[in-house]
Structure 1
Amino acid sequence: MTTDSTTGPPPLPDAFYRDLGGGRFESSHATAGPWSPKTQHGGPPSALLGRALQQHAPRPGLRIARITLELPRPVPVADLRVEVRTLHSGGRTELLEGRITADGRPVLLARAWRVVASPADTPRLRPEPGPPPLPGPQPPQVMAGAHLDGYIAAMEWRFEPGRGFDTAGPGAAWARQRIPLVAGEPDTPLTRALTVADSNWAVAFELDHHRQLVINTDVTLALHREPVGDWFCMSAATVAGPDGSGLAVGRLDDLDGDCGRILQTLLVADR
């Protein structure tokens, strides 16, 4: 589905979600992914679950260093319920588990390690070259055959000149949210990073997702420091081969440089 040029795109809602209380959230049309207006892109629900994990029994001095999200089925653009529990709690580490359900069925699962922050004298190891510079403002991005009026429109995208979603990877793109995750709430560094992380493999399409079914089954985000600011750059590449599966690996940068890594398993199958 693409935008009707005679009417223009629908206006953006005030947030991806509205908190209904009791762990329930109303999903706005901005959560819709590129494959259907009825199912969500993985970014917003990942961030919604990350928000719940971050808010669950917080402990001073501990931070979420790694979160892995499993996508057993498409997340519908519908009311969602979020639940979190502690699996293990020690002096310096905690293992948390969360899930999102829709109509009683699990649609997103997560486990996260919360660990004590490293001391101030920890050395900075193996600094890498910075990301490509943040380009200036660009027209709205397009993607062949995609639904553009949900998540894609709710994010601001900036690719290197001459590149975009339909350019074969490896590739890099900067992105930031145009609207907050939950209405009336400030976003956090973790939720902002999770909102973009599921787009990693789409930034560097290297498998023909029109000829074959190519979709990620999970997202792992590891942050070796707290991100800063609204802008994130994903620098991504994909590896794949016959009798196997795909693997998209990306580096996450903010305007201060390298802050984490993204890993996604890709299902590759005949349509």
Structure 2
Amino acid sequence: MSETYYDLTQVSLDDSVLVSEYRSHPATTGPWAPNLQHGGPPNALAVAAAEQVVEQITGRTDLTALRLASDFVGPVPVADLEVRAKVVRAARSAVLAAVIIAAGGRDCLISRVWFVRDADTSAQAAPPQAAVELPDGLPGLDADFGYGASLEWRRLSGGLLERGPGAAWARATTALFDGYQWSGLARAVLVADSGNGLSSELDWSQWSFLNVDLDVHLARPLLGEWVLLDAVTQLGAHGSALARSTISDRHGVVGAGLQTLVVAPIRAAKPTG
């Protein structure tokens, strides 16, 4: 397993657009095909690109990324990627950035990330819970593909081979790229894109249920390395489904994630995970 999901190979700022090039590593690989990425790493990369362009364009240090809305307009290959990021709106209370990830001249992922200015509203919010201790001896996720093996998992319920809702703690053991310090939203989206797999309602060998999008909203910054994902999938009768996830850290609930799923039968067996 590589030490990073990506290598940053080139970066430039051209007419207020931050253009970065990355080389993808096998740790990004998803369960469906060895040449396709899991959605977690590219969504985390989109958050990082948004953070970088907002810092460069605004120069502000009082902003926190709290919401990501991404659409997969094509599969993300395990290949060289071009990432283009720009600031769409910069106001005193919030800043919006847009990110496009492309491979081979084709757009793969289109994301929008909202940043909110830091202000003291602690008197109106519930006090944070004392940090819970993570139970020892919990089973892993048995996810032997690149992305799945790049995280440490502690499963509370459900699992990839068990149909129904699932909950698991997860911690990244792989860096996004050299020099990047994980932010709360980047950690959250890295794990949140696993909601549909953790709460699968269908047999992986008979059905595909890929997500076409990922929406993550945080009420406050995520604290620490560990993310708790508590997910459930609602199957529809018209070839679609919805995966909902509650996202928590060791101090309590932080936010939520949503994924729209395209459900279809498959002919050949696929790797589980």
What TM-score bracket applies, with the shorter chain setting the length? Answer: 0.7 to 0.9
CA 1:150–1:210 in structure 2 vs 1: closer, same or farther (change >3 Å)? same
Match of 1:3 in 2: none
2:233 is aligned with 1:223:
no
Moved runs in structure 1, 4+ residues, more than 4 A? 129-133, 137-140
Q: Tell me, in whole angstroms, the C-alpha distance in 2 between the residues paired with 1:152 and 1:57.
A: 30
Unaligned runs of 5+ in 1: 1-11
2:90 is aligned with 1:101:
no
Q: How does 1:6-155 map to 2 (within 5 A)?
A: 12-22=1-11, 23-58=20-55, 59-124=60-125, 134-137=134-137, 141-142=141-142, 148-155=144-151
Cα deviation, residue 182, structure 1:
0.6
TM-score normalised to structure 1 length: 0.85
Q: Partner letter of residue 20 of structure 1?
A: T
Cα deviation, residue 91, structure 1:
2.4
Deviation sequence 1:154-205 (CA, Å, 0-9, x none):
11111127x4311112110111111111124332222222211101121111
**Percent identity for Structure 1 against Structure 2:** 36
Q: Partner letter of residue 3 of structure 2?
A: D
Q: Tell me, in whole angstroms, the C-alpha distance in 2 between the residues paired with 1:140 and 1:243.
A: 33
Q: Tell me, in whole angstroms, the C-alpha distance in 1 between the residues paired with 2:28 and 2:136.
A: 25
TM-score normalised to structure 2 length: 0.85
Match of 1:186 among 181, 192, 200: 181
**Deviates most, 182-191 or 214-223:** 182-191
Unaligned runs of 5+ in 2: 12-19, 267-273
Q: CA RMSD in A?
A: 2.4
**Contact map agreement 2:140 2:155 (CA 8 A) in 1:** no
Q: Tell me, in whole angstroms, the C-alpha distance in 2 between the residues paired with 1:30 and 1:138.
A: 23
Q: Size of the alignment, in residue pairs?
A: 254
Deviation sequence 1:7-57 (CA, Å, 0-9, x none):
xxxxx1111111112211111111111111111110011101110101213
More strand by share: 2
**Contact map agreement 2:5 2:176 (CA 8 A) in 1:** yes
Cα deviation, residue 245, structure 1:
2.2
Cα deviation, residue 109, structure 1:
0.8
**Contact map agreement 1:172 1:236 (CA 8 A) in 2:** yes
Secondary structure in structure 2 of the residue aligned to 1:182: coil
Secondary structure in structure 2 of the residue aligned to 1:260: strand
